[in-house]
Chains A and B, each alone.
Chain A
Amino acid sequence: MSEESYRKSYESIVEKVWGIYAEAHPPVQPVRNPEAAHRVLKEKYKLLVDVNLIILVYAAFLDGRPVLFEGPPGTGKTEIGEALLTLWSGREAFVLPCSENYDEYRVIGDFHPLKAYKYGFNEKSFLPKPLLAAMIMDTGVLIDEIRRSNEEFQNLLLDIIDKRRIIVPELRMTFRASGVGFQFIFTSNPEDLAQSELSDAFLRRVVRIKFSYPDPERELEILRLRLSHLDVKVPEEIMSLSVEVVSRLRKEDLLYKPGVSDTVRWMEVSSRIASLKGKTRVDVSDVLEAAKAVLVKRVEDEESVLDIVESMIR
């Protein structure tokens, strides 16, 4: 391939990427100062994030190292990860929810079968996928539930992260990251059943940040922040009670333990129910009704969850 034709092919792929993904990933004001990021996360994203965590994530980004958020469900890993990537790169982050059959054709690029038949395996039939798009657009990538992917996919990612380049053999092309925006955050829940283990090689390369359930005071603060927009307000005592209930449920031997996001959703649903009933404030009956819909995730847990909720709320 001559230099001129290589350049043309490269440019056509770059153009294709921007054409497909630019609208879904609009630019935002980048915030690379941890304290400013803490403020923006609170005000714009309604997320309460420890400044030290932001510093650690940004330090890892500065060094080009991927970050792994590990912790139980509902602790804000995905939301915080996405927001941090967005603020760092100055563009809405790509989110890839992992599945077992992920491979390079699903994340880097594939060929349109009919176009490939007509034009051959070249830039005309090539369909860029999120990972390549993120590299070209210099945007962050959140890979959700990395433990659900297979080891081959993890190794593929490690190679891309280490070398900061993607090779597409069919096109005989190499794409390189041009800025510091192309960063990775992985999320994982080691307690989740039916998931594979992460290899030592993978764990050695990431900066692992452990997430856990917040203490009641902080959880209450999160509730106040996240529920401030509701029309039908949730009284302070009900919020405190809900936090107590959820803390108790986490200590029980349940298959599914509620996270912070479940507490928030519980209160949101309670508020909606109260609103539908024409009330101006949420009361105990709305909370009990919402608990059945939000807190019970597994049939095996239903009886014990409802017993605890009713005994504590009534």
Chain B
Amino acid sequence: MPVSSQSDITRRLVSIANRLRERGVKVGTMEIETALRLYKAAILLSGYNYYPLSRIIDAVFVKRDYEKAILDDVLRSTVGESVERGEEAPSKKKGKAEKKQEKSRAMGGSSLRSRRCLEMLKRYLETENQGYLDMIRDELRIDTRSEVKEYRVGGEIALEKLIARFALNPRDYSALARIALMEGETAILAMRHLSSKRKRRVAEQIASMLAKLSGGRRLRVKGGKWEKTYQRERIDIRRTLILKSRGKIGEVAYRRRRKTANIVLIIDRSDSMRKHADKIVEIASAYLNKASHLVLFSDEVKVTSISSWKSRLYLLDQILDLSFHGYTNITMALRQARRLAKPGSTLVLISDLQQTIKDHSPLKLIEDLGKGGYRIIIYTTKEASRVLGTTLRGDITTISFG
């Protein structure tokens, strides 16, 4: 939509519908959708890129005479003049731009014509009604005997030419695929149309071409064109087609990211932790279902990785059968944990933080990990947590026990 965006119009329609509902006028979602579709069609048909929205609201939302008075009241009291806000009716005084637009209209208004053709193409893809193709042919003044090669129009030649090609030969799937790539809004409809024609392979080609165009990034339709987002995701063709068959127009499904539970549970089982055995079991069992790795350490480190439900039971056994002995090397355990988990993961450390083996400072390493994108949760004694609270920086949470 040229002046007011589609979302703006939708917002206004929904707002008016809600006001009418509050006053007892039944306006369903179907009516809002109808109003939006009619508005889009009306501005294309008008040739001025303008049609009074109030007229559409009147035609679609008002079903009985007494409802008209309510609508007038709603428009006056709550929305006021803003129904038509953003849309300028063609004024009688013509500026330079308007004169240019008028000239373009006189010459056939290729941009508007392209959009009209595109709208009809979309409706053809939705309904498979041949009449819309006839209308495209009328609009572009071509008949079935024409050769598209000879067909010349000003302005958006490429798109019109492709639409003309498809209107002349609805089996020209390559033309449809190229239209789909140029105009995002038609892509999903085209894929659905192709899959219904048992041309799933072409539909998949469109999807993979889109995926290629996106460079692996999620695409969204904005103003009819494809726009890349920062998220890197792949299109799920199968689910996109299923969504289409359920009538969810314009929705592209992406492959779900498998969420891995990246929590590493690091437990100090040195001799000094013996007195906190109960607390360790209590805290560790809270993380048991989420943890992907268990790191038990004293002066040596033992790593257990979870691969299935069965190994979770094994993990529980490990925690319940903890034996406390040996010296403490926190730095080595943290280094090991860093190897197991990528930045963004959570490291849960249960320790009194009293390093008894000579190595690099564990606090320095914790701070580095925190700055490096790891989320660190430390369960420690009250005394140690007091010290940590004043020294550590980064995404580090300290919880005291004992």
- Chain A interfacial positions (CB closer than 8 Å to B): 30, 32-35, 51-52, 55-56, 58-60, 62-65, 138, 164, 177-181, 190, 200, 203-204, 207-210
Q: Indicate whether B14 reaches chain A with its CB closer than 8 angstroms.
A: no
Asked if A56 contacts B135 (CB within 8 A), the reply is: no
Asked if B45 contacts A209 (CB within 8 A), the reply is: no
Residues of A contacting B37 in the complex (Cβ-Cβ under 8 angstroms): 63
Residues of B contacting A62 in the complex (Cβ-Cβ under 8 angstroms): 41, 45, 119-120, 123
Contact of A179 among B51, B65, B134 (CB under 8 A): B134
Q: Mark B129-153, 1 if CB is under 8 A from A, else 0.
A: 1111011001000000000000000
Asked if A207 contacts B60 (CB within 8 A), the reply is: yes
Q: In the complex where A58-B45, A204-B30 touch, is A190 in contact with B65 (Cβ < 8 A)?
A: yes
Residue of B nearest to A62 (CB): B41
Residues of A contacting B46 in the complex (Cβ-Cβ under 8 angstroms): 34, 51-52, 55
Q: How far is the CB of B49 from chain A (nearest CB, A)?
A: 12
Residues of A contacting B59 in the complex (Cβ-Cβ under 8 angstroms): 56, 207-209
Asked if B34 contacts A63 (CB within 8 A), the reply is: yes
Asked if B38 contacts A60 (CB within 8 A), the reply is: yes
Asked if A207 contacts B45 (CB within 8 A), the reply is: no
Distance of A204 Cα from B35 Cα, bound (Å): 12
Asked if B58 contacts A200 (CB within 8 A), the reply is: no
For chains A and B in complex, what number of residue pairs have CB atoms within 8 angstroms? Answer: 85
Q: In the complex where A59-B42, A179-B130, A179-B131 touch, is A203 in contact with B68 (Cβ < 8 A)?
A: no
Q: How far is the CB of A33 from chain B (nearest CB, A)?
A: 8
Asked if B47 contacts A35 (CB within 8 A), the reply is: yes
Q: In the complex where A32-B138, A178-B130 touch, is A55 in contact with B45 (Cβ < 8 A)?
A: yes
Q: Indicate whether B64 reaches chain A with its CB closer than 8 angstroms.
A: yes
Asked if B51 contacts A178 (CB within 8 A), the reply is: no
Q: How far is the CB of B141 from chain A (nearest CB, A)?
A: 12
Distance of A189 Cα from B39 Cα, bound (Å): 26
Asked if A178 contacts B31 (CB within 8 A), the reply is: no
Q: How far is the CB of A196 from chain B (nearest CB, A)?
A: 14
Q: Can you give 19 contacting A-B residue pairs, CB < 8 Å?
A: A34-B45, A52-B51, A56-B59, A58-B41, A58-B45, A59-B38, A62-B45, A62-B120, A63-B123, A64-B127, A138-B131, A164-B127, A179-B129, A179-B130, A179-B131, A180-B132, A180-B135, A207-B59, A208-B63
Asked if B63 contacts A203 (CB within 8 A), the reply is: yes
Q: How far is the CB of A215 from chain B (nearest CB, A)?
A: 18
Residues of A contacting B138 in the complex (Cβ-Cβ under 8 angstroms): 30, 32
Q: In the complex where A64-B127, A177-B129 touch, is A59 in contact with B41 (Cβ < 8 A)?
A: yes
Q: How far is the CB of A86 from chain B (nearest CB, A)?
A: 16
User: Which residues, 2 to 41 on B, are CB-close (under 8 Å) to A?
Assistant: 26, 28, 30-31, 34, 37-39, 41
Q: How far is the CB of B356 from chain A (nearest CB, A)?
A: 79
- Chain B interfacial positions (CB closer than 8 Å to A): 26, 28, 30-31, 34, 37-39, 41-42, 45-47, 51-52, 55-56, 58-60, 62-65, 68, 119-120, 123, 127, 129-132, 134-135, 138
Distance of A200 Cα from B64 Cα, bound (Å): 10
Q: How far is the CB of B125 from chain A (nearest CB, A)?
A: 14
Q: How far is the CB of B288 from chain A (nearest CB, A)?
A: 55
Asked if B42 contacts A204 (CB within 8 A), the reply is: no
Residues of B contacting A30 in the complex (Cβ-Cβ under 8 angstroms): 138
Asked if B63 contacts A56 (CB within 8 A), the reply is: no
Residue of B nearest to A183 (CB): B131
Residues of A contacting B135 in the complex (Cβ-Cβ under 8 angstroms): 32, 180
Closest 6 CB pairs of A and B: A180-B131, A179-B131, A59-B41, A203-B63, A59-B42, A62-B41
Distance of A51 Cα from B98 Cα, bound (Å): 20
Asked if B38 contacts A56 (CB within 8 A), the reply is: yes
Asked if A207 contacts B38 (CB within 8 A), the reply is: yes
Residues of A contacting B65 in the complex (Cβ-Cβ under 8 angstroms): 190, 210
Asked if B30 contacts A55 (CB within 8 A), the reply is: no
Asked if A181 contacts B45 (CB within 8 A), the reply is: no
Distance of A51 Cα from B52 Cα, bound (Å): 12
Asked if B62 contacts A208 (CB within 8 A), the reply is: yes
Q: In the complex where A32-B135, A203-B63, A208-B63 touch, is A56 in contact with B47 (Cβ < 8 A)?
A: no
Residue of A nearest to B47 (CB): A35
Residues of B contacting A200 in the complex (Cβ-Cβ under 8 angstroms): 26, 63
Distance of A180 Cα from B139 Cα, bound (Å): 14
Residues of B contacting A65 in the complex (Cβ-Cβ under 8 angstroms): 34, 38
Residue of B nearest to A182 (CB): B131
Residue of B nearest to A52 (CB): B55
Asked if B127 contacts A56 (CB within 8 A), the reply is: no
Distance of A138 Cα from B131 Cα, bound (Å): 9
Asked if B63 contacts A204 (CB within 8 A), the reply is: yes
Q: In the complex where A178-B131, A180-B131, A180-B134 touch, is A59 in contact with B45 (Cβ < 8 A)?
A: yes
Residues of A contacting B26 in the complex (Cβ-Cβ under 8 angstroms): 200
Contact of A56 among B56, B123, B132 (CB under 8 A): B56
Q: How far is the CB of A247 from chain B (nearest CB, A)?
A: 21
Residues of A contacting B119 in the complex (Cβ-Cβ under 8 angstroms): 62
Residues of A contacting B132 in the complex (Cβ-Cβ under 8 angstroms): 180
Asked if B47 contacts A63 (CB within 8 A), the reply is: no
Residues of A contacting B51 in the complex (Cβ-Cβ under 8 angstroms): 52, 55
Residues of A contacting B63 in the complex (Cβ-Cβ under 8 angstroms): 200, 203-204, 208
Residues of B contacting A180 in the complex (Cβ-Cβ under 8 angstroms): 129, 131-132, 134-135
Distance of A25 Cα from B306 Cα, bound (Å): 78
Asked if B130 contacts A55 (CB within 8 A), the reply is: no
Distance of A209 Cα from B28 Cα, bound (Å): 19
Distance of A60 Cα from B56 Cα, bound (Å): 10
Residue of A nearest to B59 (CB): A207
Residues of A contacting B134 in the complex (Cβ-Cβ under 8 angstroms): 179-180
Residues of B contacting A52 in the complex (Cβ-Cβ under 8 angstroms): 46, 51-52, 55
Asked if B31 contacts A204 (CB within 8 A), the reply is: yes
- Among A34, A56, A164, chain B packs the most CB atoms within 10 A around the CB of A56
